[in-house]
Structure 1
Amino acid sequence: MTESLILAGTLIQGIGDDGRPIAVEQAALYQKDGVIRDIGKADDLTAAYPQARRYGSMQHVLMPGFVNSHHHVGLTPLQLGSPDYALELWFASRMGAREVDLRLDTLYSAFEMIASGITTVQHIHGWRPGTLETIHQAAGAVLAAYREIGMRASYSFAVREQNLLVYEADEQFVARVPAEIRPQLAAHLKKQRLPLDDHLKLFRMLAADNHGQPLTRIQLAPANLHWCGDEALQAIKAEADNAGVPMHMHLVETAYQREYARRRTGGTALAHLHKLGLLGPSLTLGHGVWLNEADIERAAATGTCVCHNCSSNLRLRSGVAPLNAFRRHGLTVGLGLDEAGINDDRDMLQEMRLALRVHRVPGMDDDEVPSCGEIVHMATEGGAKTTPFAGRIGRLEPGRLADAVLFDWKSITWPYQDDDIPLLDVLVHRARGKDIESVFIAGEEICHQGQFTRVDRTEVLNEIAQKLAAPRTADEQARLELGKAVFAHVKDFYRDYLAQETPREPFYAPSSRR
């Protein structure tokens, strides 16, 4: 049995419908065996649970742990040699990436996430060659790493069965490239393809492996419309419904993906998913940058969720998702850091500030732009609703899991902060990772003042450095050369791809040519 008390001058239980924090002053949270049992005044709870270990003080602010609702890898593409190209060019530029041990890679980004207050991550794995057996082993390594560090994770292996490099059939694209690289490209793409039946088997194997694990869950991820045929999408939906798990799907991340959907379906990607019966509260759409107003209304009407990946969209020239329209229509929105945030890391505090400010369109009506409370809700309960842990994380209430972040208020406000500014505004605008005293997951302090209690960060980073200091393997070198050889042909494929698109009418008009 483990039990503890976490004290705080202000305990933020969650965000109300009005965007204001639901707070308890001079408070304490009592957890037992990883579950919140009691919340109340500090004096009352210290008297009621005198034997419990204590953390925090009246100098601290306690709030729910953050949820990174969209994540893929540890070492970033930039670290592994791929610049910030537009998304469609990125896939070719990443072909030569170094192989990184999956335990080390997972821990690398987990360190960054936890240090910024993230307690749960939505890990969407994929883009990996191999057989069912080798991918099963790889998935197991990722899940084991999260359990090792003590982080909560929802895992899925993304289903991709077609159009692996560009938005047309692999065989057609291979025929476009020079004859001398066709065999190598065809062989590379063949290694990347896992049959749909094997994807579904993998989900069942992982779900069986994961049975009884408190920190990890398994769900399904049809990777994107262009990567899945209609039969596959419906099969994945049936599997998810049968297992009672949610789905996470990239959708219209870029203008090119919007155009692909028009060519394939004659309409929008979201309208097509609606026809196939995929929309609903169990589906989260990653990105959604190019959803139009009718799409947003339909998503809201069906309860479909969206994950806003603000920094990723900016880095990859994908555009600016219409968050203010999502808000107006009442969509459930989570926040995701995707491959890496604006600083090439996984810093949720920075991402929250970015999302807050990117959507501050010209005008003076506060209701037109996100509030700090709304952004915090996206990073906590909104994100929680996109995972299998929905209803158990994202708020601090008795009966929920004891996942929380303890901030040092003196550190945040040093050397001065006027008392008239609301606490939540100060926290969102000013808090940095250095201001986090402790991160708790299932009641366990897994990070204290930047130091991790279960895994030696320095040891892991040194091991990564040593492994990647070795020369590229023959396979890595061959993929690097193939990526360089095919890059110009990928770019040429998209040269006139948007020529027939309808004129754009942006949701936001922050600047004007005339």
Structure 2
Amino acid sequence: MSVEIVTARWIVTGAQDETTPVIHDDAALASRDGIVLAVGPAAEIKAAYPEATVTDYPHHLIMPGLVNSHHHIGLTPLQLGAPDYALELWFAARLSMRKLDPYLDTLYSAFEMISSGITTVQHIQGWATGDLDEVLGAARGVLGAYEAVGMRASYCYAVREQNRFVYEADEDFCARLPAEAGRVMAAHLARQKMSFADFMTLYDELKAGNRNPRARIQLAPANLHWMTDDGLLAIKEKSDAEGVPMHMHLLETAYQKEYARRRTGTTAVKHLEKLGLLGPQLTLGHGVWMTEEDIEICAGTGTCICHNCSSNFRLRSGVLPLMELQRRGMVVGMGIDEAGINDDRDMLQEMRMALTVHRGPGMDHSAVPTPTQVLRMASEHGALTTAFGAEIGRLDPGRRFDAVVLDYSSATWPYQDPDIAPLDALIHRAKTKDVHAVLVDGEVIYRDGQFTRINRESILAQIAEALAKPRDTSEQETHWLRAQVFGEVERFYDGYVPADTPRIPFQQGSSRV
């Protein structure tokens, strides 16, 4: 292919350090076959490639495409009938969620992600029902959706071996229920069971069958309470042999911290360190309830963290001590999980939330995140938590040309004082309406509110038609089941975390006395 050039008022290629973006004024970027060739002053780039086609973005800022480092489903649980609760109760509330074809469901959230500047997603699928062939079909539907819309996807299927509903064996929880509810619950959980060998076959089949260069297949041990030690070791062995990363939920809530203590006699992080799982190939999703020693261990091993700010607020999980991780130079990505604070997948909003939430009391400038740090989390560091690694996340020569074009004039109308750096202004002020274009491999997949490969309105109409139908028999059954089990889940966790468990926060937000 021939060389293509884009020009812009500013091009941000990435972060130089925690406070300084690498930003070029009146700049141009040259690419070929989706690979960045050069970035610099527009006149110099045009002179170096005189035969190139040129696209001008005269009042825009171009920055690296954003990476949603932790994502699960399309329509949100709230849309499908599950209100927000504490995480462990929320799993019970989710029983009544409607079903939707995985292809349509995935496209729904892909539309939201792309329109907020996300070019790559870490899609962690799970909870599909049926045997290997049925789960494989659901996974192919997810991957097919990303290929259809043109988005980059790092895909994994969350392996769950045990404790699929609460933090005890499935059969023990079912025995707590009235006879009929216990029978239905046992049958429901049985539909989510695959053998460990089938989970590994699923990975092998998906990887062998993947022909989409914008998709990569990796591994996901779901969480400590969902995995046996033997299963964790086997996935680590598979990860090493295949050279693919792992993404694992860990320490999302205080209840998960207590589970780890009961099971291992130590912390979840120390247990994973003992098993040899920690390292740059592992990303821990959430990590809210890590101790200071846990953080030191993760930093020392190069283990990555994914910060899911909105999710942690909505599900009452707590607040990640982000600046403790930043001070140790850790790789911290950013995820929106199942929905952002506005019940959507708006990464611009999520970046602002992370920027604001961690502004603790005091006057030490280094104690709070900067817009440049937040951009790095949502781009370069997020990329490092996926199977694409350093191929994406920046706009340096040799990297993939994944970018978002923001309309500075639109975002800052009617006025923005030039004392505020352009990137800082956009991190604070840009909305989805200001996303002018999104490019993956140099291909424009979204421009001026329209998707170039697929008709959004047609897909939304299909979703509306499917969900307008009455609940089918299985949906009626799980809707009934939710009412039967919710109270028992509350009773199970009542007193689960001892009342005298010491808690010393990393960040003091207020004072009772």
State the TM bucket, normalised to the shorter chain.
Answer: over 0.9
**Residues in 2 aligned to 1:189 and 1:82: alpha-carbon distance in whole angstroms:** 19
In the alignment, structure 1 residue 121 sits paired with structure 2 residue 156: no
Name the counterpart of 1:172. Answer: 172
**Residues 150 and 501 (structure 1), Cα distance of their counterparts in 2 relative to 1, 3 Å cut:** farther
> Aligned letter for 2:201?
K
Native 8 Å contact 1:156 1:219 kept in 2: yes
Name the counterpart of 1:285. Answer: 284
Name the counterpart of 1:67. Answer: 67
> Aligned letter for 1:219?
Q
**1:232-269 per-position Cα deviation (integer Å, ceiling 9, x unaligned):** 00000000110000000000000000000000001100
**1:205-257 per-position Cα deviation (integer Å, ceiling 9, x unaligned):** 111011x5310000000000000010000000000110000000000000000
Name the counterpart of 1:300. Answer: 299
Name the counterpart of 2:104. Answer: 104
**Residues in 2 aligned to 1:180 and 1:437: alpha-carbon distance in whole angstroms:** 55
> Aligned letter for 1:138?
A
Please give the secondary structure, in 1, of the residue aligned with 2:391. coil
Native 8 Å contact 2:10 2:60 kept in 1: yes
Name the counterpart of 2:511. Answer: 512
Native 8 Å contact 2:128 2:138 kept in 1: no
**Residues in 2 aligned to 1:501 and 1:331: alpha-carbon distance in whole angstroms:** 32
Measured after TM superposition, the shift of residue 95 of structure 1 is: 1.2
**Residues in 2 aligned to 1:219 and 1:35: alpha-carbon distance in whole angstroms:** 23
- For 1:38-57, list aligned pairs within 5 A: 38-57=38-57
Native 8 Å contact 1:92 1:483 kept in 2: yes
Unaligned runs of 5+ in 1: none
**Residues in 2 aligned to 1:462 and 1:501: alpha-carbon distance in whole angstroms:** 53
Native 8 Å contact 1:56 1:406 kept in 2: no
Native 8 Å contact 1:2 1:34 kept in 2: no
Measured after TM superposition, the shift of residue 59 of structure 1 is: 1.4
Measured after TM superposition, the shift of residue 57 of structure 1 is: 2.7
Measured after TM superposition, the shift of residue 503 of structure 1 is: 1.1
- For 1:61-460, list aligned pairs within 5 A: 61-210=61-210, 212-460=211-459
Runs of 4+ in 1 over 3 A off after TM superposition: 47-53
Measured after TM superposition, the shift of residue 48 of structure 1 is: 3.6
Please give the secondary structure, in 2, of the residue aligned with 1:437. strand
**Residues in 1 aligned to 2:305 and 2:462: alpha-carbon distance in whole angstroms:** 37
Name the counterpart of 2:35. Answer: 35
**1:32-88 per-position Cα deviation (integer Å, ceiling 9, x unaligned):** 111112222212223443443333333111110000000000000000000001100
Measured after TM superposition, the shift of residue 22 of structure 1 is: 0.6
Could you state the TM-score of these two structures normalised by the residue count of structure 1?
0.98
Measured after TM superposition, the shift of residue 116 of structure 1 is: 0.4
Unaligned runs of 5+ in 2: none
**Residues in 1 aligned to 2:297 and 2:8: alpha-carbon distance in whole angstroms:** 42
> Aligned letter for 2:340?
G
Native 8 Å contact 2:307 2:332 kept in 1: yes
**Residues in 1 aligned to 2:218 and 2:509: alpha-carbon distance in whole angstroms:** 38
Work out the number of aligned pairs and report it: 513
Could you state the TM-score of these two structures normalised by the residue count of structure 2?
0.98
**1:115-152 per-position Cα deviation (integer Å, ceiling 9, x unaligned):** 00000000000012111111111111110110110000
Please give the secondary structure, in 1, of the residue aligned with 2:10. strand
**1:407-461 per-position Cα deviation (integer Å, ceiling 9, x unaligned):** 1111122111111112221011011111111100010000001111011111111
**Residues in 1 aligned to 2:101 and 2:186: alpha-carbon distance in whole angstroms:** 26
Percent of aligned positions with the same letter in both sequences? 58
Name the counterpart of 2:6. Answer: 6
> Aligned letter for 1:78?
L
**1:457-512 per-position Cα deviation (integer Å, ceiling 9, x unaligned):** 11111110011001110111011101111111111100110126621001111111
Measured after TM superposition, the shift of residue 179 of structure 1 is: 1.6
> Aligned letter for 2:269?
L
> Aligned letter for 1:428?
I
**Residues in 1 aligned to 2:78 and 2:303: alpha-carbon distance in whole angstroms:** 32
Measured after TM superposition, the shift of residue 383 of structure 1 is: 0.2
**Residues in 2 aligned to 1:249 and 1:83: alpha-carbon distance in whole angstroms:** 25
**Residues 259 and 44 (structure 1), Cα distance of their counterparts in 2 relative to 1, 3 Å cut:** same
In the alignment, structure 1 residue 495 sits paired with structure 2 residue 494: yes
Native 8 Å contact 2:18 2:370 kept in 1: no
Superposition RMSD in Å: 1.1
Please give the secondary structure, in 1, of the residue aligned with 2:232. helix
Measured after TM superposition, the shift of residue 25 of structure 1 is: 1.4
Measured after TM superposition, the shift of residue 3 of structure 1 is: 4.2
**Residues in 1 aligned to 2:235 and 2:198: alpha-carbon distance in whole angstroms:** 12
487-496 vs 43-52, which moves further? 43-52
Please give the secondary structure, in 2, of the residue aligned with 1:95. helix
Native 8 Å contact 2:3 2:49 kept in 1: no
**Residues in 2 aligned to 1:469 and 1:420: alpha-carbon distance in whole angstroms:** 52
Measured after TM superposition, the shift of residue 6 of structure 1 is: 1.2
> Aligned letter for 1:144?
G
Name the counterpart of 1:24. Answer: 24
**Residues 436 and 2 (structure 1), Cα distance of their counterparts in 2 relative to 1, 3 Å cut:** farther
Please give the secondary structure, in 2, of the residue aligned with 1:158. strand
**1:279-318 per-position Cα deviation (integer Å, ceiling 9, x unaligned):** 0000000000000100000000000000000000000000
**Residues in 1 aligned to 2:257 and 2:314: alpha-carbon distance in whole angstroms:** 19
